[in-house]
Amino acid sequence: MPLTDNAGAVSRADMEREEILLGNGAIALGLVESGCQVLASYPGTPSSEILPEFIRLAKSNGHAPYTEWSTNEKVALDTAFAASITGKRAACCMKQVGLNVAADSLMSAAYMGTIGGLVIIACDDPGPHSSQTEQDTRIMARLAKVPVLDPSNPQQAREMVELAFIVSEEFRIPVILRPAIRVCHGRQNIAFGPIKGKERKASFAKDPSRWAATPRFRLVLHGELNEKLDRIAMKFEDLEPYNSHNLTPGTGYRLGIVAGGVPCSVVHDILKEENRSDIPLLRLGAPYPFPRALAGDFMQACEKVLVIEETDTFIEYLLRDSNKVLGRLSKHVPSQGELTPQVVHEIINHLLGDLNIKQFKTFEDPKAVDLVRSLDLPVRKPTLCPGCPHRAAFFAIRKTNPKAIFTSDIGCYTLGLNLGAVDTCLDMGAAITMASGFFHSFAQDGVTQPIVATLGDSTFYHSGATGLLNAVYNQARFILVILDNLTTAMTGMQPTPALGIRADGSRGGAISLERIVKGCGVEYIEVVDPYDIQTTTNSLKKATDYVNDPDGGIAVLITRHPCVIAYKEEAITKETKVRVTDDCVECNFCLDRFECPALFYDKDVGHININRQICRNCGVCIQVCPKKAIVEA
Amino acid sequence: MPQLRGLHSGLSQKSYCGGLKSLMETINIILCGLGGQGILYMTKVLAQTALRNGWNIMGAETHGMAQRGGSVVSHLRIGEVESSLVRNGSAHFLLSLDLIEAYRNLPFLAPRSKIYVNAAPSLFPQTLVKKYLIKREIRFHSFDAYRIADELGAPMSSNLSLLGFSSAFEKGPFSHESLISTIEKISPDRFKKSNLDVFNAGFEWGRKENLQGAR
């Protein structure tokens, strides 16, 4: 069975227990220490490792919490919410765009409130490194009217988990923890502490005016929520060290910096390295509800205030003084992209120059950057792995349907765009819903537009079925290829509901893709092994005929082959070592259409060759070469 | 100097003082290459060695989409810091498992820092880069870490071979012995011998080059 690699950390048994943890591991440790009894999650970078680490650390402490990989983020939030109102400490974790899926629950849960602490961990991705947006979860917290904590490194994230539970229980409100990617995928040595939370027994006190509130009661709940926020704001005024500044009383400053989250640690380290005690720092690790008096003191002491925050204008708006406050709105800070140390260093240094204040001692040597630019290095774009079954499927799809619109989805297979077999990628499940939309938009004009939708198995379980039901109901016509590699590959090989293996390794109910597809009303379902390109091609042709037949409909092809990373043994049962013969005419067909990273143009031999360092010996490329120049070695 | 928390340091104190004066309190290391080359494992060996020597560490890794065959950079900072990323111009050491990625990450290097690259010495550094490195007094060493690992039947272990190579130089980030004891501790039993063999083979190459005099 596929497993994530969590065996990494080594403890120092000879001293107090200390491990080098991933930020997500530090968050998991915080959850264990706080006595979190229920944790539900859907994997998504950068949040994916929290749940497996929680299971590992809880087990090593002799705990048996309830954990699950939920089918999607909304399911995860609902699950944790229910546990919370039975009095237990519960949490859910997801990536930032996952909170969009769970937003329906979040908005309502804020009104209803909690009993046991409820912590919603939504991990942001400034960059973005592995996401479709750079959205700022603090704004989602403001929209839902719930408190948000914004840690600046793994250790702080671990501490803030406990703080989040305390605030949640004191004020009966869900609390969002939003670690950004540099927290989640940071690493830090963390000393273990005592377990503070106590296990509780579930109980549920019926109270329909709260737990099933109608609009009339919702107004009452909204009033309660506003009153809670006022009280929490008071608490956040006095929340050292997370909300604090280093002003010397009675001193005036030319420039002060306000920062939260990861940029807070970056600014701190830069000011320390530059030895600049003349620039005070206001840390806002708990920026909402906004500690107005604390910020007011800081504003008063400084002539100008620069706001460094990721990724939007959250604190900057809350400071509300456009004459004094500098940041994104005044164009001093870029409005997109990660605020890396060099970016932050440049922003501050530039502003110091503008304000005629002494600039930093060190600055980046522009010669290095110019030199690297002059080398004209190849851009390395992400690609599907050598041996990836998706590559074979995409090759066959492109070959049989060259004129189709290729709608696709979120996962490894977005990289099918390198093979010219992915045209769109909107959100989870949109391969199917956009295929419907394309179909109807063209059909309205009387145009028969071929459409092939591709999405992965895990994405189908997440949000494929609703769209497929809709497509069948509304008579759309397209081919849907479910790329089934028997795992959630991109995020680190979490199991899917098809396998009947649960997050903690225990047995679960296994639900096959075929059964769901059939249940959605699809009549045409075929399963093929994409490594066999000829058979896959034939199946795609038959599927095309069915889609075009007046009595036909939506055709679903499941291309099933184990992921080469998750299933090292099973994926390639018989290794086929290949070589390229002199029949190669350098037509580059294999590079353009198959795009396996193990194929490259070899100057030394004067034609395409195989990079043995990375070739997985799947042998699929033998079927691809039009000149039959790739043969078994 | 970073604050020692007990035990003796496996790090030569002279070794990183060549960086910018203002950065003397922290050791910044960049490890780079391509997804799948074992950069995270190499980072782990260094981080565990630092921890065993009583130092605090802070690091940043690449996961997710970027791992699929793309450029991977791992940041490791040793000392009393709050943030995890190394700023351009402030890395004391750069270890690259790929020639192109070594070039791409040059801006991280501080003056008088050290760079170790998995590439035949005839390939690295190219003329312009060499001029730049010499001008900034950056020490550079390269060797075919992949070939050494492959010859020992462990083609996926270029990472350990390069790490062994770098440990042969007095100015490497950690002592040879302290790295060996970490590898012994964290390798699964079935890979322990192979890992140590590759690491030691890399070390031997480095030792020979060191004896011939660094460029």
Cα distances from A500 to residues A456, A494, A557, A558, in angstroms, run 17, 12, 22, 19
pLDDT bin (cut points 50, 70, 90) of residue A359 is very high
Beta partners for residue B95, in sequence order: B31, B116
Q: Is A273 on the interface with B (CB under 8 A)?
A: yes
Q: Is residue B6's pLDDT more than 80?
A: no
**Best mutation target, B43, B83, B97, B109, to test chain A (most A CBs within 10 A):** B83
Question: Is residue A628 within 8 Å of residue A587, measured between CB atoms?
Answer: no
Shortest distance between the Cα of B178 and any Cα of chain A, in A, equals 15
* Interchain contact, B107 vs A364, CB within 8 Å: yes
Q: Could you tell me the sign of the dihedral formed by the alpha carbons of A341, A344, A346, A352, in that order?
A: negative
Residue pairs between chains A and B whose CB atoms are closer than 8 Å: 169
How many helices (H) and strands (E) are present in chain A, helices listed first?
22, 23
* Interchain contact, A364 vs B106, CB within 8 Å: no
Position B169 scores a pLDDT of 86
Beta partners for residue B141, in sequence order: B116
**ipTM of the complex in this document:** 0.89
Name the average pLDDT for chain A. 94
Instruction: Report the residue from B23, B85, B89 with minimal CB separation from A340.
Output: B85
Three-state DSSP state, A119: strand
How many angstroms separate the CA atoms of B88 and B111, rounded?
11
Shortest distance between the Cα of B206 and any Cα of chain A, in A, equals 23
pLDDT tens-digit series, residues A516-557: 999 999 999 999 999 999 999 999 999 999 999 999 999 999
**Best mutation target, B65, B77, B104, B115, to test chain A (most A CBs within 10 A):** B65
Position A15 scores a pLDDT of 42
How many angstroms separate the CA atoms of A346 and A334, rounded?
11
- Chain B CB contacts of A491 below 8 Å: 64
| Among chain A residues, CA nearest to B84 | A186
CA-nearest of A567, A410, A565, A427 to A501 is A567
CA-nearest of A429, A441, A496 to A466 is A429
| Among chain A residues, CA nearest to B127 | A375
Position B66 scores a pLDDT of 56
Position B69 scores a pLDDT of 67
Q: Is residue B119's pLDDT more than 60?
A: yes
Position B212 scores a pLDDT of 77
In a 13 Å sphere around the CA of A452, the CA atoms on its Cβ side amount to: 27
Report the run of H or E that residue A219 belongs to, with start and end.
helix A215-237
- Print burial letters for A244-281: b (CB count within 10 Å at least 16), e (below 16): bbebeeeeebebbbbbbbbbbbbbbbbbbbbebeebbb
pLDDT bin (cut points 50, 70, 90) of residue B172 is low
Name the average pLDDT for chain B. 84
Q: Is residue B4's pLDDT more than 60?
A: no
Among the residue ranges A213-222, A373-382, A425-434, the one predicted with the least confidence is A373-382
How many angstroms separate the CA atoms of A247 and A260, rounded?
17
Count of positions (residues) in chain A: 633
Section A131-151 average pLDDT: 97
Q: Is residue B215's pLDDT more than 70?
A: no
* pLDDT top residue among B22 and B185: B185
Phi, psi of A21 (to 5 degrees): -110, 150
Query: What percent of chain A clears pLDDT 90, i.e. is strictly above it?
Result: 90
* Interchain contact, B22 vs A273, CB within 8 Å: yes
Report angle CA A266, A235, A39 to the nearest 5 degrees.
Answer: 70
List, as own/partner pairs, every contact residues A8-17 make where C-beta atoms lie below 8 angstroms and the sequence separation is at least 24, other chains included: A8/B44, A10/B48, A10/B185, A10/B186, A12/B51, A12/B52, A16/A191, A16/A192, A17/A191, A17/A192
Shortest distance between the Cα of B171 and any Cα of chain A, in A, equals 22
Instruction: Report the residue from A129, A345, A614 with minimal CB separation from B87.
Output: A345
Report angle CA B147, B150, B153 to the nearest 5 degrees.
Answer: 155
Instruction: Report the residue from B70, B84, B132 with minimal CB separation from A186.
Output: B84
Position B197 scores a pLDDT of 95
* Interchain contact, B82 vs A153, CB within 8 Å: yes
Chain A residues 408-427 with CB within 8 Å of chain B = 412, 414-415
Three-state DSSP state, A616: coil
Among the residue ranges A376-380, B34-38, B176-180, the one predicted with the least confidence is B34-38
How many angstroms separate the CA atoms of A339 and A277, rounded?
22
Section A360-378 average pLDDT: 87
**Best mutation target, A18, A242, A374, A380, to test chain B (most B CBs within 10 A):** A380
DSSP, residue by residue, A128-197: -SSSS----HHHHHHHHT--EE--SSHHHHHHHHHHHHHHHHHHT--EEE--BHHHHTEEEEEE------
Question: Is residue A377 within 8 Å of residue B101, measured between CB atoms?
Answer: no
Position B24 scores a pLDDT of 46
Its pTM surpasses 0.90: yes
* Interchain contact, A268 vs B85, CB within 8 Å: no
| Among chain B residues, CA nearest to A595 | B69
Q: Is residue A362's pLDDT more than 90?
A: no
Q: Is A191 on the interface with B (CB under 8 A)?
A: no
Shortest distance between the Cα of B207 and any Cα of chain A, in A, equals 26
Phi, psi of A492 (to 5 degrees): 115, 30
Cα distances from A313 to residues A157, A259, B76, in angstroms, run 22, 11, 30
pLDDT tens-digit series, residues B70-108: 788 999 999 999 999 999 999 999 999 999 999 999 999
Section A383-399 average pLDDT: 96
| Among chain A residues, CA nearest to B128 | A371
pLDDT tens-digit series, residues A205-228: 999 999 999 999 999 999 999 999
Section B159-176 average pLDDT: 86
Instruction: Name every residue whose Cβ is closer than 8 Å to that of residue A351 and which is 6 or more positions away in sequence.
Output: A255, A306, A326, A332
H-only helix segments in chain B: 39-52, 99-104, 127-135, 145-151, 158-166, 176-186, 189-212
- Chain B CB contacts of A152 below 8 Å: 82-83
Q: Is residue A11's pLDDT more than 70?
A: no
Instruction: Report the residue from B35, B59, B185 with minimal CB separation from A186.
Output: B59
pLDDT bin (cut points 50, 70, 90) of residue A194 is confident
* Interchain contact, B109 vs A368, CB within 8 Å: yes
**Best mutation target, A11, A20, A409, A568, to test chain B (most B CBs within 10 A):** A20
Shortest distance between the Cα of A214 and any Cα of chain B, in A, equals 42
Q: Is A214 on the interface with B (CB under 8 A)?
A: no
* pLDDT top residue among B65 and A421: A421
How many angstroms separate the CA atoms of A49 and A21, rounded?
11
Position B65 scores a pLDDT of 59
How many angstroms separate the CA atoms of A420 and B194, rounded?
41
Shortest distance between the Cα of A114 and any Cα of chain B, in A, equals 33
Question: Is residue B111 within 8 Å of residue B18, measured between CB atoms?
Answer: yes
Three-state DSSP state, B71: strand
* Interchain contact, B146 vs A187, CB within 8 Å: no
CA-nearest of B83, B84, B82, B65 to B74 is B84
pLDDT bin (cut points 50, 70, 90) of residue B213 is low
| Among chain A residues, CA nearest to B5 | A15
pLDDT tens-digit series, residues B23-59: 347 899 999 998 878 899 999 999 999 988 888 999 9
pLDDT bin (cut points 50, 70, 90) of residue A494 is very high
Position B205 scores a pLDDT of 92
